[in-house]
Every structure is written in C-alpha cells, then in structure tokens.
Amino acid sequence: MTAHPHLSELADQYGTPLYVYDLDRLDAARHDLFGALPEEFDVFYALKANPHVDLVQALREGDGRACRAEISSTGELAAALQAGHDPGTVLYAGPGKTPGELREAVEQGVRLFSAESLTDLEHIGEAALAHDTVADCLLRINDVTARAATGVRMTGRPTQFGIDSETIAGLAPRLCSVPGISVAGLHLFSQSNAADEQALIAEFEHTIDTAARIERELGVPLRLLDIGGGFAVPYGQRGERTAYPALRAALGAALDARFPGWRQGTPRLAVESGRYLAGDCGTLLATVSNVKVSRGRTFVIPDTGINTFGGLSGLGRILPVSVRVESESTETERVTLAGPLCTPGDTLGRDVEVPAGLRPGDLVAMPNTGAYGPTASLLMFLGRPAPAEAVVRSGDVVSVSRIEHVRTYRKVKRAHD
C-alpha cells in the first residue's frame, strides 16, 4: 500500500515524525458509536486516549450528538474546558485523585465523580463541602462475577479500581451517608478493545444484571448508570473499527428487563470510549533513517519509536504495527522495525511486513494511531522532540502543533546563604 499523496505533502511540509488526525474520520467513528447504541445513551469520551483539544472539541460539536468528557487529571480537565465542555457535564474518574486535584475540579465546576473506594468518596465529599456544594458520585464497582456471562467464571481480581461488589451490601449505609456526596449511580468498566460483538453483549448484559442487584443492595435509586465500554479498533495495525450491529437491540432488551424506567431516563445510561472514537482518525508518518542487516535479519529504523508511539509498551507488549509505504513495489519482506532510542525495548515490531528494499529517506505510515499515541508514549526518554501533530478536515489543515517540555527551576534555600 502506498501513503496517501496528501500525507506525503504534509510530511514534506511539517517534517516527521508527524501524526495526522482526520476529523472526518473522527466524526464517522462518533456517528457509528452513537448509532450502535439506543438513542437514550450518553457517550463519554475518555480523554486518556487522546487529549488533543481539537479532537476533544470536534467530538463535542458538529452535526452529530455531543460526546461528554471523561477525565482523570487536572491536565485533562484543562483540555476538556479548553475544548468548550461545560464542567457540569464532565465525569472525573481515576483511582488516585489527590485532595488538590479534587479541590481544583470542584472549583472549576465539576460535579460528577466516579469513586473508587469509600475513602475516595470521602475525599470527594471533603472537596465538595469545602466549596459549599454537593458532588454527584458514581460508585465504581469491581464486579466479583465479571465475565461470568462469557463462560469464564472469574472471581473479581484484587485491583486498585472500584469497590468490591461483594462488599456493597455491608458498606451501603456508609457509602450513602458521606457528607458532601449524593450517590448518583454506578460505574462498571470491565474490558477494553472487545472485537467480538457477542462477547461484548454478554458482558454488558451481565453488567446490567449486576447493576440492578447493587441498586437493591444500596437502597438508592440509580440516576446514572455507566456500563463501561470496550469498543474495538486495531491499534497501529491495518484494519477497521469493529461494527456492532446487534448491540442496540440487545442493550434495549437487557435494560427493559432490569430497569423498566430507563427509556424515561431513570436511570440515564452511558458508555465510555477512547480508542474507538479516536483510533482510526490518526496516521503516524515517519521517515526511514537507516536500514541495516545484522546476522541475516533486516532492521528498518525510522525516526519514530516508543518515544512517539507505544508508551503502552510499558505493559510488556510489542506493538505489531503495520506500515504503508510510498512505493510501487508489490514485493514485500519481513523486517524488525526498531526505533531510534538506545534501548532494545525500542522495537515497534519484530516481524513486520514492509515493501522490499526500503531505503533511508522513505516515508512510512502507521495506520490507526489516533489513540494512545504521543501522550501514551515515553515522550521525554532520550530527549528527542515530541512528534508534530497535524489536524485535518476535508483535506485542509486545521492546526499543526507539538508538545514542548521545558524544565523550570524553582528558587531553593541554600544552607550557606
């Protein structure tokens, strides 16, 4: 496959490594996700996937329905506000919210939080009370029976996320009486990147059953039920977003059975997604710096590595990236795609099919890189500049930007002064 001519022009103009985000594709993903859900559903965009303000803003405005913002830091809060989100519609989640972050979020107008434990709930309540207000909280649940529906009965593992579901009944009186808190609903997020629609449906059905049971144990009617996500798109590889043609009807049926008032808004329903919305709008362009052979194996070394794409390699994964290249050649060969960093960990793929005979100066393109790109990468490691990020709409460049790191010094008191 050859790189789109427009992409090579952008690479010429702005240099590589260069991310190109196509807002038309972002719109299409949003349209497809809303279309796969009953119309009563809200969609939270998890800024973790890509907090670029132009993307966050595009997901909020335009012809389609607006995504709400799900954030878990003051940096993401700033991006959401800059993108025009009303702080009152934002969901603040995450296992380690500090008192300072919570205070700032409440001051900025955030009123909806996901609480991961009783102490987290108390911290949110303290921040709300300090601001003379009450915060709506979703209780995040670590479901002891998650995935039972797919045939693999797992006891819920210990994790830093959520409140163990089996403890809810006993904790209910305390959870529901934290000063400064109104328990608004539940948040269950049990999986990512589920490319199998039937498995995803089974998971959601199970989640809805669990939520109905927990509602009874809490004795508080749910106003908002966030059933999580898991919508899939290839990551750095060729391929299409998964389609979910049966999901809408299946969710409707499961909710009718457990929450008869849901079509009237009791509870309101939500899902959340990062990668499905942002993943396929992005292409990472890189220039081959060097090609070498070591003991019979070919190494292609572009000007991009885990400093630019693939900080999630911290999870111990090798990214099986695929590349497109500006080349008429139909012959291919298998190479190791190694980044420029001085660590063997900087390997983008060990058995990557590329057009035969790549040379220094050739442009390569990595598809489906709109989510978990720059901000999920080891941006500062080995001191290379962050990649440029170009946003395009209908073939026109909307913006070009780059994240900069600067060390700022603070005044220190010295013993001898």
Ligand X SMILES: *Cc1c(COP(=O)(O)O)cnc(C)c1O
Nearer to ligand X, 68 or 275 (CB): 275
Strands 112-115 and 91-92: parallel
Strands 363-366 and 324-325: antiparallel
Nearer to ligand X, 69 or 127 (CB): 69
- In whole angstroms, how far apart are CA 63 and each of 24, 31, 278, 353? 11, 9, 17, 39
Nearer to ligand X, 2 or 193 (CB): 193
How far apart are the C-alpha atoms of 46 and 106, rounded to whole Å? Answer: 19
How far apart are the C-alpha atoms of 117 and 161, rounded to whole Å? Answer: 8
- Residue ranges in contact with ligand X by CB under 6 A: 46, 48-49, 93, 189, 192-193, 229, 272-276, 371
Chain-centroid distance of CA 183 in Å reads 25
At closest approach, how far in Å is the CB of 341 from ligand X? Answer: 25
Nearer to ligand X, 192 or 332 (CB): 192
Place of tokens 């500006």: 326
At closest approach, how far in Å is the CB of 370 from ligand X? Answer: 11
Which regions of 245-339 does DSSP assign to beta strands (E)? Answer: 268-273, 282-294, 297-302, 324-325, 332-338
Tell which residue, 394, 286, 402, 400, has the closest CA to residue 26: 394
At closest approach, how far in Å is the CB of 93 from ligand X? Answer: 5
Nearer to ligand X, 142 or 307 (CB): 142
Residue closest to ligand X (Cβ): 274
Q: In this structure, what token pair is assigned to residue 101?
A: 């972050």
Nearer to ligand X, 29 or 202 (CB): 29
At closest approach, how far in Å is the CB of 313 from ligand X? Answer: 16
Nearer to ligand X, 193 or 401 (CB): 193
At closest approach, how far in Å is the CB of 23 from ligand X? Answer: 18
How far apart are the C-alpha atoms of 62 and 230, rounded to whole Å? Answer: 25
At closest approach, how far in Å is the CB of 272 from ligand X? Answer: 4
How far apart are the C-alpha atoms of 80 and 105, rounded to whole Å? Answer: 12
At closest approach, how far in Å is the CB of 72 from ligand X? Answer: 7
How far apart are the C-alpha atoms of 188 and 193, rounded to whole Å? Answer: 15
How far apart are the C-alpha atoms of 188 and 142, rounded to whole Å? Answer: 7
Nearer to ligand X, 140 or 324 (CB): 140
Q: Mapping DSSP to helix (H, G, I), strand (E, B) and coil, where does residue 394 land?
A: coil
How far apart are the C-alpha atoms of 241 and 232, rounded to whole Å? Answer: 6
Handedness of CA 306, 311, 315, 320 (dihedral sign): negative
At closest approach, how far in Å is the CB of 229 from ligand X? Answer: 5
